[in-house]
Structure 1
Amino acid sequence: MADYRMVEHIPDLIQAEEYDRHPEGRLVRVSIRVDGEGVQVLGDAFRPELLEKLLETLGPDAIEQMLCG
């Protein structure tokens, strides 16, 4: 299991105006970037448990997350 770390900021991939278009709450958005330091997978979801399950299957050492609000 990955080590979860709280961070102050992660870029939003879902904007507030999208909430009304997805009343069932199943929207998950993922961004994958590759650079000189490795692979970065960012995710945003209405239901965090869906995103956490997806990220954990990738086998990372750590998953960074932030409190929303």
Structure 2
Amino acid sequence: MTNYEFVDSLPDLVQPEEYADHPTGGLVRLRISVENGEISILGDALRPELIEQLLEALGPDAIQQMLCG
């Protein structure tokens, strides 16, 4: 089971000016990086459930998530 860790901030991969170009909310962006042998996947989406499903399918121990208001 994946644990969610709430954090104060994460980099934005989707910018507000892009919202109008994706009225159905289907925009998802990923950034995959490798540093010191560790793989990090940063994701951002207009619809949070899309990115959550994708990241959970990868089977990580934890997913860091930022609460948006």
Classify the TM-score, shorter chain.
over 0.9
Q: Secondary structure at the match of 1:13?
A: coil
5+ long unaligned stretches in structure 2: none
Separation (CA, whole Å) in 2 of partners of 1:66 and 1:19:
19
TM-score, normalized by length of structure 2?
Answer: 0.95
Rounded to whole Å, the distance in 2 between the matches of 1:50 and 1:14 is 14
CA RMSD of aligned residues (A): 0.9
Percent of residue pairs identical: 59
| Number of equivalences | 69
Letter in 1 for 2:45: A
The answer to whether residue 4 in structure 2 is matched with residue 4 in structure 1 is yes
Aligned residue number for residue 32 of structure 2 = 32
In the TM superposition, 1:1-69 aligns within 5 A as 1-36=1-36, 38-69=38-69
Q: Which runs of 5+ in 1 are unaligned?
A: none
Once the two structures are superposed, what CA deviation does each residue of 1:13-45 show, in whole Å capped at 9, x if it has no partner?
A: 000100010111110000000010500000000
- Aligned equivalents of 2:21 and 2:12: distance in 1? 17
Tell me the TM-score normalised to structure 1 length.
0.95
